[in-house]
């Protein structure tokens, strides 16, 4: 389908050429207006988020051998591997679900939101594990991180995680407002 502006320009040219607005030209304008009215609100935003979820899944998979802070301890090995694969699976499900606009995509996104929230809350509940995790992740700048008092460093990271959670839940609210998008046929 041609963009509406091209259809309108073509009709104007036809009108000048023929010196009257014929039926097919009016019909093309009507089809263009109907196409504009039938565009799904929020589709670009939701599909952009889908792409970002899929990119996040790739990055999570690339980081499969890194340690994770789980339930008060920094864990490596099988627990960390399982964590990375579960998070990757949720990101992939959310990405595909948001892209395809299927009803299960809405549920997959909300489940990912719940898992992400639980993960960050459990991370903030155990400050010692969070601090150990931060120090292991900042291998290049460990000396620099050592110059910042422990409580202050923890406070910065907890504030960052709270802001991330607020942004995530803001997008979840947006998805909730646009839930009709998931019940349309694409």
Give the pLDDT confidence of 121-130 residue by residue, as tens digits.
998 999 888 8
Instruction: Quote the percentage of the chain above a pLDDT of 70.
Output: 73
Residue 145 has pLDDT above 50, yes or no: yes
Taken in order 177, 50, 109, 172, the sign of the CA dihedral is negative
The per-residue pLDDT for 58 is 95
Would you state the structure tokens that stand for residue 169, as one six-digit string?
């839940």
Nearest to 95 by CA among 58, 50, 56, 55: 50
Instruction: Quote the percentage of the chain above a pLDDT of 90.
Output: 45
The per-residue pLDDT for 99 is 94
Q: Within 13 Å, how many C-alpha atoms sit on residue 6's CB side?
A: 3
Average pLDDT, the chain: 82
Residue 12 has pLDDT above 70, yes or no: no
The set of residues, in sequence order, having a beta carbon less than 8 Å from that of 138 and lying 6+ positions away, is 144, 145
Give the pLDDT confidence of 16-72 residue by residue, as tens digits.
554 444 556 556 655 655 554 456 778 899 999 999 999 999 999 998 888 888 888
The arithmetic mean of pLDDT across residues 97-119, rounded, is 94
Taking CA atoms, 102 is separated from 91, 92, 98, 114, 174, in Å, by 16, 14, 7, 19, 17
Of 75 and 32, the one with more pLDDT: 75
Residue 8 has pLDDT above 70, yes or no: no
Least trusted range by pLDDT, from 13-22, 79-88, 159-168: 13-22
The per-residue pLDDT for 7 is 55
pLDDT band for position 168 (cuts 50, 70, 90): very high
pTM as predicted: 0.73
């Amino acid at each position: 389908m041609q963009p509406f502006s091209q259809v309108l320009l073509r009709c104007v040219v036809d009108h000048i050429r023929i010196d009257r607005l014929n039926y097919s030209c009016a019909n093309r304008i009507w089809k263009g207006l109907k196409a504009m009215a039938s565009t799904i609100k929020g589709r670009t935003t939701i599909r952009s988020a889908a792409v970002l979820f899929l990119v996040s899944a790739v990055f999570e998979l690339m980081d499969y051998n890194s340690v994770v802070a789980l339930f008060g301890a920094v864990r490596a090995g099988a627990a960390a591997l399982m964590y990375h694969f579960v998070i990757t699976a949720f990101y992939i499900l959310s990405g595909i679900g948001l892209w395809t606009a299927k009803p299960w995509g809405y549920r997959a996104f909300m489940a990912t939101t719940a898992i992400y929230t639980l993960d960050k809350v459990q991370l903030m509940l155990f400050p010692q594990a969070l601090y150990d995790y931060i120090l292991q992740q900042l291998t290049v700048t460990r000396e620099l991180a050592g110059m910042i008092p422990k409580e202050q460093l923890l406070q910065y990271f907890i504030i960052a995680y709270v802001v991330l959670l607020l942004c995530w839940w803001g997008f979840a609210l947006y998805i909730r407002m646009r839930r009709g998008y998931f019940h349309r046929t694409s």
